[in-house]
A = this chain, B = another copy of it.
Amino acid sequence: MINKVVPNATAAIAGLESHMTVLFGGFGLCGIPENAIAAISKTDITGLTCVSNNAGVDGFGLGILLENRQIKKMISSYVGENAEFERQMLSGELEVDLVPQGTLAERCRAAGAGIPAFFTPAGFGTEVAEGKEVRWFNGKPHILEHAFDAPFAFVKAWKGDEAGNLIFKGTARNFNPVMAMAGKITVAEVEELVPAGTLDPNEIHTPGIFVQRIFQGEKFEKRIEQRTVRTR
């Protein structure tokens, strides 16, 4: 068994440098690597290109790194919930690349799977297709999209073992498995770190081969963005 355990978030982000491209798991505030983000926010790393489906909210998630001006560019599918984001974008301080959500997921999965490019129908005829190769298959137009890898990926799981195997909980899974595949160094933070042999090999969502470092997060706030309930 190859042991991937590092002591904490600070050790886990070692080697991360300014101006790198970094992948983040999570959807909204669900399943985001809170501890890695906190550790990055304490460094003077800046100029990051962040690939993440969303951009956090004011004061939480990637919103923390935005407030610190550590992010130069966001590559996301939806960035709606963040006033500071809006300010930086409109002022030109922040670059934004918008990518269809399914294309974003598939480009990261492709990077991890050694597929350098693939055809997808999403975005044909729209701005997203500008400059891209178009080809028809089965009577339907498709555009060529390229794999998207990065030197670092930060993901968050529910349980993980020393070998880096991960199990996610509920819809906190979302982008985490694909980002884990696409990172050259993938750092996983987990709510519960267990010895190898504890998890059932049959129930692993992300095999340890995709994870280079793993640690148990000190604290998980797990904020809810839209608390919606019904009455009994």
Contact = CB atoms under 8 A, between A and B. Distances in A.
Interface stretch (A41-49, A68-76, A114-122): A114-122
B117 A121 contact: no
Given A170-B202, A203-B203, A118 B114 contact: no
- Copies of the polypeptide in the assembly: 2
A213 interface: no
A125 to B, nearest CB: 17
A46 B170 CA distance: 45
A201 B171 CA distance: 10
Contact of A137 (B117, B137, B201, B203): B117
Contact of A113 (B106, B142, B168): B106
A96 B226 CA distance: 55
A116 B119 contact: yes
Contacts of A182: none
Given A170-B202, A202-B170, A142 B119 contact: no
B119 A117 contact: yes
Interface in A176-207: 201-203
Interface string A108-148: 00100111111111000000000000010110101000100
Nearest to A168: B202
Contacts of A87: none
12 contacts: A106-B115, A110-B118, A115-B118, A116-B137, A116-B138, A116-B142, A117-B137, A118-B119, A168-B202, A169-B202, A170-B201, A203-B203
Interface of A: 106, 110, 113-121, 135, 137-138, 140, 142, 146, 167-170, 201-203
